[in-house]
Amino acid sequence: MAASCSGGIEQQQQFNIASGQMEAIMRAYIVIGILAVVAVSARIYTAHTQDRLVAGLNCTVECSGYDAGYEWAKQRDIDDDDYCPDGNKSFYEGCAAYANGTDSGIGRSPLVSNDDDTLK
């Protein structure tokens, strides 16, 4: 009778070990799956944002403040950044870019002049 009990215990232990290994494998697959989803999401996000240099800064997500400041200064022909309002940092930097003659990077390659489309 003792022999049959020890055989059952050994089988139960082997089953528990196999079950633990399967659980570890499943957890690894879940982690790999989650990492793949995160990587794809990050790739899609970066593909939909364009890098632009505005006032010498890299604007990657929201550039409306820089654009508005640049256009505001352009409409008023601001030639000194002391006249740029400093209530909003990105607006100020866009205004200062125009005042200092820095290319805004809006809508064109920085190597092409807007006046005569020749290379700088």
Domain boundaries of the chain, sorted by first residue: 1-48, 51-120
Distance between CA 70 and CA 75 in Å, rounded? 9
Q: Fill in the amino acid letter for 98.
A: Y
pLDDT at residue 58 in the model: 59
Which residue has better confidence, 119 or 37? Answer: 37
Quote the mean pLDDT of the chain.
Answer: 73
| Confidence grade of residue 19 (pLDDT, cut at 50, 70, 90) | confident
Which H or E run contains 57? strand 57-59
The predicted pLDDT at position 26 comes to: 92
Write out pLDDT tens, residues 54-92: 545 556 567 788 888 889 999 999 999 899 998 888 888
Comparing CA positions, the residue from 72, 48, 73, 71 lying closest to residue 61 is: 48
Instruction: Report the alpha-carbon angle 83-51-73, nearest 5.
Output: 15
Q: Measure CA 104 to chain center.
A: 21
The rounded percent of the chain whose pLDDT value lies above 70 is: 63
User: 96 CB contacts (<8 Å, ≥6 apart)?
Assistant: 55, 69, 73, 81, 84, 102
